Amino acid sequence: MRLRRLWRPTPLKRHYDVIIIGGGVHGLATAYYLSRDFGITDVAVLESQYLGFGGSGRNTAIVRANQRTPENVRLYDEGLKLWRVLTDELDFNLMFFNCGSLLLGHSEASVGAFRMAASTHNFMGVHSELLDPRQCAEVIPGLDISDRPAFPIHAGLYHPPGGIVRHDAVVWGLAKGAAAHGVHIHQGCEVRGIDTDRGRVTGVRTSLGDIGCNRLGIMAGGYSSAIAAMLGIELPIHPLTIQAMVTHPLKPFLHHVFSSTAYHVYANQTLKGEIATGAHMDPQVNYTTDATAYYLKHQAEALVDLMPALRGVRFMRIWAGLADMTPDMAPIMEGHLGYDGLFLDAGWGYFGFKSGPVAGKYMAEYMATGERPEILEAFQLKRFLENRYSGETAAVMKYGHWD
Amino acid sequence: MVADAGAKTGGGLADRGSPDPSVGRPDCRRPPSHGRLPEGRLPPGPTCRVDLSQPLEFSFLGRPVTGFAGDTVASALYASGVRIFGRSLKYHRPRGLYSMEGESSNTLMAIDKVPNECAETTELKAGMSVRAQNVRGDPQTDRFAFIDRFDRMMPAGFYYRLFHRPYRLWPLFQNGLRRMAGTGVLDPRRGLEEGIRGEGGIRVEGGIEVEGARMGSDVRAERYLNAEVAIVGGGAAGMSAALAAAERGLRVCLFERRPWLGGHLVWRVRDFEGEPLHRRAEKLAVRLRAAENVKVFTSSPVTGVWGENLVTGFTSGAEGDLFRECHWECRAKTVVVAAGCMERPLVFNHNDRPGVMQVGAVWRLARTYAVLPGGVAIFSVGDDLSLEAAADLADLGVKIRAVADAREAVRQDAALVTALEERGIPVLAGWAASRVMGRKQVKGCELGALKGEASRRFGCDLVVANAGMQPRIGALATVGARLAYCGHTHTYQPVELPGGVFAAGSMTGLRDPRAIEASGRLAGERAVESCGGSAPGPDESLPEPAPGCDIRHGPDIGRGAKAFVDFDEDGTYKNVVESAAQGFDVPELAKRFGGFGLGPGQYRVAGQNLAMIMADLRGDPVETATPTTVRPPLVPPSLATLAGPGHDVHKRTPLHGELAARGAIFRRAGPWLRPRYFSEDTSCRKEIRNVRRNVGILDSSPLGKFRIFGPDALKALQRVYISDMRKAPRGHCKYSAMCNDMGQLVDDGVVIREGENEYYFTTSSGRAGSTVEWFRYHTRYDRWDYNLVNLTDVLGSLNIAGPNARRVLERVTDDEVSNEVLPYLGCRRITVADGVEARCLRLGFVGELSFELHVPSSYCQFVWDLVVEAGADFGIRPFGLEAQYCLRAEKGHVIIGAESEARVTLTDIGMGWLWDCGDTAAKKVGAPALRACEKQPGRMRLVGFRVDEGSGSPRDGAVVVDGAKIVGYVCTTRRSEALGWQYGMAMVREGVAVRGGRTHIRQEETPGRGESCSATVVPTPFYDPGGRRLRA
Ligand SMILES: Cc1cc2nc3c(=O)[nH]c(=O)nc-3n(C[C@H](O)[C@H](O)[C@H](O)COP(=O)(O)OP(=O)(O)OC[C@H]3O[C@@H](n4cnc5c(N)ncnc54)[C@H](O)[C@@H]3O)c2cc1C
């Protein structure tokens, strides 16, 4: 097997037509589609650390389309269908493990919420099923459906099209694909300022010098609001640390993703055999990405309650990343944001891996044509000014202090 | 939780008489019971910790094996001749003992069906059943061993390039890959049968005979400590630090992962200042045990040092402990990290063969466990300690053919070299191992010069190898120390430590025992200083850190052989090269791409080697190499231990026992445990009917209850409530709501003016816990003077509802409760029986005549009994949350979360009438949003509907559709006995919300099995729209 660099080192030019800030799935996917579908190849992706340093290299890689509202289901469903397409296009195995996901409900109210989700999904042609506890245990043997757990299982929302993807492979594969179409990828290049002139974006100041551009995409994950703030743009985004951990590897015994909102836990068994499990976000706004002892313990409490066999399993590693949370748990995808040529794709919280490629596809269209694609209508920034939340979460979210 | 009884010893070591194994040694020099030395054992020496007179029977692969008290599982297996402990992940190569510290997956085994237990560190117990992992068939003849020959097809990252074309075959490959991956085997159904989970720290005995006594004591405790100085590591430095700090009166907790104190001195017999080194450690340990203020925790690995100096770990229970493992957290003012060193693995060809071991492993097998590690050995090492080991092992009878030392001759301790030469062992400076011969076991070893071509081959059954020492930097790294490569010790050393964190001992590069102790004392004294005390100046000058070894790998690396950088995922030197060639040329990327340091060994095995090799490959100076990030936990804790005994933190109302006795079926509701049903009939027909036609009683104690008073109390109420609270008349319940800044409903309840600047109010039960914070937050800039008291837990509440409610109430109070004196929404204080003062609120949530009695929690049961007795003639019966849910829904009363959500404001859900827009000076929370949205088109609305008879029966969550579009969903719907039809409330797009409009409802719980029905939008309330019944 001949081994070649996945993406070539390229010289840093002084000007690009398009600059993308952020070497995560969103930035790379946008660059990939810009160069592939729109012939815009004078593109640079600037990444302050290394590709996948942000959420894209830290997530638990769960992909699914069982969102709450039709606008979101539509986008995520298209995203879900892209994995196999991209695997082929990029000639890079993204290792989509189509294992299906099971969301557990722990109250009577969750049954109604799940019925709404299932009805919405199936109406839109996305497969979901409402399960009773016994059926949950048939799908995932080992779940404790007795009333021993602190939050007994009441229902499940089973979603066979979901699964997990190898997150690093997506980053690398997209980089490979973008580079093959001529995109320049610059790691270790931190954007420190944005230049504008008469209402237009003209370039960025970076740790490697000033670079001019005609169009700029802010796709810097948890750091996006800080970058927008360089232009005085305030975004309704709360960056919060969110943690994940893996256990020692085991032979396959968990063949689905499961998650539970009451326990704030989601888990799956990776292709390598580790149980990868994620936790809730830190209660207060912060950029630290510090892991905490609290979540290690909390997570163990939740997991052994839900699946007692996990008692003997050991945690091997815990890490954290940033979740850029909007008040309605839906992203902001916006163009001409205060300045001509300024685009933003952020606010993806802890659910933006699955949607990376599809968001990139439509952001590329937006950036190339200047026209907002219809599917992105629901994700405009102005919805917050108009107090029209997307309904992606029913609950009224609260991050950090009251607000 | 284990009470912290203040005993001087903690964790795994209750004081249990002398000899305390954590100090000196148990008396292990006793001869074996039958007089002869068991096979594979050495005569027990002065540092031995195995009692050869106490055999322990256990099984390996079902075959009986004998070990001895004091053995680890690994030492016992090794002594009995086992060399292959398991098979490697990718290539199924045989793997054996390596470090005796559990640094890699090589010796992870299934013990008593628990996978991935570390044989090297798990204490042997009689009856254990031990199995090898990742083995098909027998570990000796593993059926998958052939994979080892196909490595050329598996370069770094090969799986990204293979298996996906054509895509339809991928699931097949994927399942194959999955089955090959992973090591331990877990039965997911294990533990589902009652019994494994302990309750309140004590296991429920459920007849689990199968698992024997071990499962019987599966108690996990937890313990929360605090200390002025927490010390990580109980070696000479850690102990010296503890003594220094304790002598100045500080409270010290010392954590040591091994079952005994003394670090790497405990197996060393070399003379130093007139006594053997192990004696020196024992003396320190004795002093430490005698010191005031010191708690020593042995068998207690630290899992992490986190922000704000939180030290966490766990303790394995020893005999006499009431737990099997105990999770602890120690909040410390200062932390001294004296975690010592581990050996840097030497990367050379076939460095994973069973029989290749690190120096410490071999030395401890012999000195600690009285196991003969091998007959003929070759050493390839990089530090003086290893030379000392070689001499010592030679004295114990191991024939050492040669010692290769990667360092130049000038860097070696001349005395040790002489000692080796005296024993006839050639020392080859500037040489290292290049290759191991033998497949399942070492048969020989080739040594080569690092510069030049010279090489020599030796026959041997043991290869003792390392690349010198590397500090155990885990605790420093996780607490946020900045580490940098040190060109003198060739290790990563802290260059910047967070506040209150100090490093000491051999991890800082020191090798001289006196210097190590002095550095510990100094760290202890620095800790004293940062706790505000004063400490003497620095000690006398002592030897500086010794120069280290910077070897990257053995000669001839990768030539026709695998040289492992990472054992867990079979990451070879060649794979590192391949990663770099594909652009993954920094450790953090290579780690993910090639799989170095992602397995059980984490950064510990691969970390420094990967960084150094990568720097070489890039052509950068080694100083620029940044190893991969250290991630906790530093030692893997089991989920059971982390989870602890399992606390159920739900609150119970004062009537919990009573309700349980009446057959209540409880559900968690917010922080509370509440009755949802009182029979198996989840439609609650009887409960509902009884309220509608007769009288029912509900325990509504979780209702939020508050008192607010003070000169600015009214202002505060005006701020958070959306109505004009100035209009709350005395003796009357004013119903209102709270919104958030987005105008969304967050709470509702009643407010009662009880006196001058004094109010009593209720909140929904889910919201009670946040109410004080909410008031304070929204008035934080106003400097208002008011007091807010949460009475939720102090007062219980009973709701008597139904047409007969008044008649029941009249029987328990002499006070007047007539419609005139206590009309709908009235409130007055009454006396129940002869002396219980109660607030009596006349409310109508369920739509019937109803009284809510708020009484002190301690009287709840008494009042309940009275009411129930008084209502017996009427057939009073308790009703639960589900019945209440239905009753109020028939009235169109909204429950937050059920008929409200993030997309809708108070106005959208039809409660806009509560908003008083007059008093703008009050700056009501949510008012600007309500104003902005008031006339906005296209918002969602809450509407009532009536399901068209015979068209179907949708349930909560069904969606409202308009052609191919989803335009809303059903929040709540029920068939009502009182109404005779199915009613419901739905959240719908504006156009749908027209009275009399027909809507289409669809529900599809399973694809293809959808049901549809039609409904008509009707006004709410559905039941008793005029409200006559609640005013009766
Ligand atoms: C623990 C965890 C678990 C998660 N689990 C899931 C999951 O299961 N499913 C799912 O769908 N999503 C999940 N997510 C969310 C998902 O990872 C993110 O939403 C997604 O990766 C965002 O991708 P991105 O490309 O927008 O941003 P990122 O991947 O964060 O990339 C942004 C990049 O921008 C770079 N950058 C920042 N500032 C600058 C600057 N000034 N100059 C240059 N570069 C800069 C950063 O270094 C970073 O590499 C999880 C996230 C975390 C943290």
pLDDT tens digits, residue range A345-381? 999 999 999 999 999 999 999 999 999 999 999 999 9
What average pLDDT score do residues B473-495 get?
Answer: 95
Query: B218 Cβ partners below 8 Å, 6+ apart?
Result: B196, B198, B203, B324, B640
Is the domain of B948 the same as that of B987? yes
Helix or strand run (H / E) with residue B73: helix B73-79
Whether B313 is covered by a domain: the verdict is yes
For each of the domains in chain A, give its residue range(s) and CATH number, in order of start. Answer: 15-59+167-237+328-384 (3.50.50.60), 97-161+238-325 (3.30.9.10)
Q: Are B776 and B719 members of one domain?
A: yes
Examine the domain organization and report whether B679 and B819 are in the same domain: yes
Q: Is the pLDDT of residue A283 over 80?
A: yes
Q: Which of B64-73, B147-156, B420-429, B515-524 has the lowest mean pLDDT?
A: B147-156
* CB of B749 closer than 8 Å to CB of B825: no
Residue B46, pLDDT > 80, answer yes
Give chain B's mean pLDDT: 91
Minimal CA–CA distance to B629: which of B466, B468, B476? Answer: B476
Q: Tell whether B309 is covered by a domain.
A: yes
Q: What is the mean pLDDT of residues A318-346?
A: 96
**pLDDT value at B41 more than 60:** yes
CB count in 10 Å sphere of residue B264: 20
Q: What are the CA-CA distances from residue B600 to residues B118, B184, B469, B554, B604 (Å)?
A: 10, 12, 20, 25, 9
DSSP, collapsed to helix, strand or coil, labels residue B968 as strand
Residues B333 and B367 grouped into a single domain:
no
Both tokens of A369, joined, read 């044509």
Q: Which residues does chain B have within 8 Å of residue A102's beta carbon, measured at their own beta carbons?
A: none
| C-alpha count within 13 angstroms, C-beta hemisphere, residue A325 | 26
* CA neighbours closer than 13 Å in the CB half-sphere of residue A79: 32
Q: Is B153 left (phi over 0), alpha (psi -120 to 50) or beta?
A: alpha
The answer to whether residues B837 and B711 belong to one domain is: no
**B524 and B502 inside one domain:** yes
**CB contacts, 8 Å: A118 with chain B:** 957, 1004-1006
C-alpha neighbours within 13 Å on the C-beta side of residue B1032: 18
- Chain A residues whose CB is inside 8 A of the B970 CB are 116
pLDDT over threshold 70, residue B208: no
Chain A residues 89-148 within an 8 A CB cutoff of chain B = 91-98, 106-109, 111-120, 122-124, 127-130, 140-142, 144, 148
Asked whether A105 lines ligand 1 (CB < 6 A), one says: no
CA A23, CA A179: separation in Å to the nearest integer? Answer: 12
**Is B1009 domain-assigned?**
yes
Distance CA B78, CA B66 (A): 11
Give the whole-number percent of chain B exceeding pLDDT 90.
Answer: 82
Burial class (CB in 10 A: 0-12, 13-18, 19+), B1027: middle
Under DSSP, the state recorded for A89 is H
Q: Which amino acid is at A280?
A: H
Sequence-distant (≥ 6) Cβ neighbours of residue A239 within 8 angstroms:
A222, A223, A225, A226, A285, A286, A287, A322, A323, A324, A325
Lowest mean pLDDT: which of B63-77, B207-221, B365-379, B692-706?
B207-221
DSSP secondary structure letter of residue A309? G
- In angstroms, the separation between the Cα of residue A75 and the nearest Cα of chain B is 15
Taking CA atoms only, the protein residue closest to ligand 1 atom 41 is A191
pLDDT in tens, A191-237: 999 999 999 999 999 999 999 999 999 999 999 999 999 999 999 99
Residues of chain A contacting B742 with CB distance shorter than 8 Å:
327, 387, 389, 396
Rounded Cα gap, residues B722 and B736, in angstroms: 7
Write the CATH number for B771: 3.30.70.1400
Give residue A303's identity as a one-letter amino acid code. L
Tell which A residues from 6 to 65 touch B, by Cβ distance under 8 Å.
6-7, 50-52, 57
What average pLDDT does range B24-46 have in this prediction? Answer: 75
Which residue range forms the structural domain that includes residue B517?
Answer: 1-25+216-343+469-550
Q: How far apart are CA B688 and CA B977, in angstroms?
A: 9
Which one of A3, A313, A328 has the shortest CB-CB distance to B639?
A: A313
Range 272-291 of A in CB contact (< 8 A) with B: 272-274, 290-291
Q: Indicate whether residue A79 lines ligand 1 (CB < 6 A).
A: no
**Is the pLDDT confidence value at B619 over 80?**
yes
Q: Assess whether B238 and B373 both reside in one domain.
A: no
* Amino acid residing at A272: K
List of long-range contacts for B766-773, beta carbons under 8 Å, 24+ apart: B766/B669, B766/B670, B766/B896, B766/B897, B767/B704, B767/B896, B768/B702, B768/B703, B768/B704, B768/B705, B768/B792, B769/B670, B769/B671, B771/B704, B771/B706, B771/B747, B772/B706, B773/A402
Q: Extract the tokens encoding A87.
A: 């695997």
Q: Which of B740, B768, B790 is the last residue of a domain?
A: B790
Are B58 and B128 in contact by the 8 Å Cβ rule? The answer is yes
Residue B67 pLDDT > 70: yes
Q: Is the CB of A330 under 6 A from ligand 1?
A: no
Question: Tens of pLDDT along A142-201?
Answer: 999 998 898 999 999 999 999 999 999 999 999 999 999 999 999 999 999 999 999 999
Are B743 and B850 part of one and the same domain? no
3-state helix, strand, coil in chain A (%, to 5): 30, 25, 40
User: Å from A123 to nearest chain B CA?
Assistant: 7
Q: Which residues of B touch A5 (CB under 8 A)?
A: 581-583
Considering B180, B197, B228, which residue would you say is the last residue of a domain? B180
> Quick check: is B597 in a domain?
no
Question: Does residue B662 contact residue B677 with C-beta atoms inside 8 Å?
Answer: no
Distance of CA B478 to the CA centre of its chain: 16
pLDDT digits (tens, 9 = 90+) for A61-70: 999 999 999 9
Q: Are residues B97 and B238 both part of a single domain?
A: no
Instruction: With CB atoms and an 8 Å threshold, state whether A316 touches B327.
Output: no
B25: pLDDT confidence band, cut at 50, 70 and 90?
A: low
Task: Tell me what the mean pLDDT of segment B159-164 comes to.
Answer: 88
- Which residues are A400's β-sheet partners? none
CB crowding B956-977: b at 16 or more within 10 Å, else e:
bbbbbbeeeebbbbbbbbbebe
pLDDT range class, residue B28, cuts 50, 70, 90 = low
Size of interface A-B (CB pairs under 8 A): 343
pLDDT tens digits along B757-805: 999 999 999 999 999 999 999 999 999 999 999 999 999 999 999 999 9
Instruction: Check pLDDT > 50 for residue B552.
Output: yes
Give me the interface pTM, i.e. the ipTM: 0.95
The Å distance, Cα A188 to ligand 1 centre, comes to 16
Q: How confident is the model at residue B138 (pLDDT cuts 50, 70, 90)?
A: confident
- Please give, rounded to a whole number of angstroms, the shortest distance from the CA of A288 to a CA of chain B: 11
Mean pLDDT of A88-111: 96
- Rounded to whole angstroms, the Cα distance separating B776 from A71 reads 38
Q: Which two tokens stand for residue B157?
A: 């990252």
Please state, in angstroms and rounded to a whole number, the distance separating the CA atoms of residues A53 and B721.
Answer: 46
Q: Is there a single domain that holds both residue B70 and residue B162?
A: yes
Q: CB distance A272–B955 less than 8 Å? A: no
Q: What confidence category does residue B68 fall into, taking pLDDT thresholds of 50, 70 and 90?
A: very high
Q: Could you tell me which residues are beta bridge partners of residue A343?
A: A217, A335
Residues 6+ apart with CB under 8 A from A244: A58, A59, A60, A276, A277, A278, A279, A318, A319, A320, A321
- Return the SS3 of A352: coil
Confidence label for B536 from pLDDT (cuts 50, 70 and 90): confident
Number of domains forming the structure of chain B: 6
B186, B327, B744, B971, best to mutate vs chain A, most A CBs in 10 Å: B186
- pLDDT band of residue B32 (cuts 50, 70, 90) is low
Answer whether A100 contacts ligand 1 (Cβ < 6 A): no
Q: Which of B850, B870, B888 is the last residue of a domain?
A: B888
Task: Give percent of chain B above pLDDT 70.
Answer: 94
The answer to whether B563 touches B557, Cβ cutoff 8 Å, is: yes
Q: Read off the pLDDT band of B33 (50, 70, 90).
A: low
pLDDT classification of B213: cutoffs 50, 70, 90: very low
CB atoms within 10 A of CB A2: 6
Atom of ligand 1 nearest to the CA of A352: 19
CA-closest candidate to residue A149, choices A37, A355, A302, A261: A302
Check if the beta carbon of residue B491 is closer than 8 Å to that of residue B509. yes
Q: Provide the Cα torsion A306, A309, A310, A312; round to 10°.
A: 150
Helices (H), B376-469: 384-395, 414-422
For residue B992, what pLDDT is reported?
Answer: 82
> Does the CA dihedral B667-B673-B676-B679 come out positive or negative?
positive
Q: How many CB atoms lie within 10 A of CB B728?
A: 21
Q: Residue B807: which H helix or E strand, with range?
A: helix B805-812
Angle of helix B236-247 versus helix B513-530 axis, rounded to 10: 40
- Given ligand 1 and candidates A32, A48, A363, which is best to mutate, with the most ligand atoms within 8 Å of its CB? A48
Average pLDDT over residues A323-328: 94
B585: in domain: no
Element (H, E) at B853: strand B850-856
Q: Is A219 in the pocket of ligand 1 (CB under 6 A)?
A: yes
Q: What is the pLDDT of residue B559?
A: 83
Give the pair of three-digit tokens for residue B210. Answer: 């199968």
pLDDT at B964: 94
State residue B920's pLDDT score. 83
Residue B931 tokens read as 């104003």
Chain B residue numbers with beta carbons less than 8 Å from the beta carbon of A87 are: 164, 167, 170
Q: Which atom of ligand 1 is nearest to the CA of A206?
A: 42
Residue in chain B closest to A58 (alpha carbons) equals B592
DSSP conformation letters of B720-782: HBSS-GGG--BTBEEEEEEE-TT--EEEEEEEEEEETTEEEEEE-GGGGGGHHHHHHHHTTTT
Lowest pLDDT segment from A357-361, B533-537, B897-901, B956-960: B533-537
Q: What percent of chain A has pLDDT over 70?
A: 99
Q: Using CB atoms, which residue from A292, A395, A403 is nearest to B306? A: A292
Is it the case that residue B539 has pLDDT exceeding 70? no
Confidence of residue B648 (pLDDT cuts 50, 70, 90): confident
Our CA-based measurement puts residue A279 at a distance from the nearest CA of chain B, in whole angstroms, of: 15
Same domain, B785 and B815: no
- pTM score of the predicted model: 0.94
Q: Could you tell me if residue B359 is inside a domain?
A: yes
Tell how far the Cα of B845 is from the centroid of ligand 1, in angstroms: 47
Residues B339 and B483 in one domain: yes
**B646, part of any domain:** no
Q: Which two tokens stand for residue B1026?
A: 């005029």
The two structure tokens encoding residue A58:
């830290």
pLDDT tens digits, one per residue of B306-342: 999 999 999 999 878 888 999 999 999 999 999 999 9
The DSSP string of B452-484 is SS-EEEEE-SEEEE-S-EEE--HHHHHHT-EEE
pLDDT at B538 (0 to 100): 65
By the 8 A CB rule, do B902 and B908 touch?
no
Q: Which atom of ligand 1 sits closest to the CA of residue A354?
A: 11
Residue whose structure tokens are 């170095």: B596
| Number of the ligand 1 atom closest to the C-alpha atom of A61 | 8
How far A197 CA sits from the closest chain B CA (Å)?
34
Report whether pLDDT(B194) > 60: no
Is the residue at B998 inside a domain? yes
Q: Give contacts of A273 with chain B, Cβ < 8 Å.
A: 178, 181-183
The type of residue at B756 is E
CATH number where B1004 lies: 2.40.30.110
* List of chain B residues whose C-beta atoms are within 8 Å of the C-beta of residue A395: 897, 901-902
Neighbouring C-beta atoms of residue B710, cutoff 10 Å? 15
Per-residue pLDDT, B183: 86
Ligand 1 midpoint to CA A289 (Å) = 12
Nearest to A249 by CA among B607, B599, B632, B638: B599
In short, whether A64's Cβ falls inside 6 Å of ligand 1 is: no
Share of chain B residues as helix, strand and coil, in percent rounded to the nearest 5 = 25, 30, 45
* Candidate from B179, B640, B1005 with C-beta closest to A118: B1005
Q: Determine phi and psi for A245, rounding to 5 degrees.
A: -150, 160
- CB-based contact (8 Å) between A233 and chain B? no
Chain A residues with CB-CB distance to B648 below 8 A: 150
| Residues of A (329-388) whose Cβ lies below 8 Å from B | 386-388
Indicate which CATH number applies to the domain containing B534: 3.50.50.60
Q: CA-CA distance, B654 to B674, in Å (whole number)?
A: 11
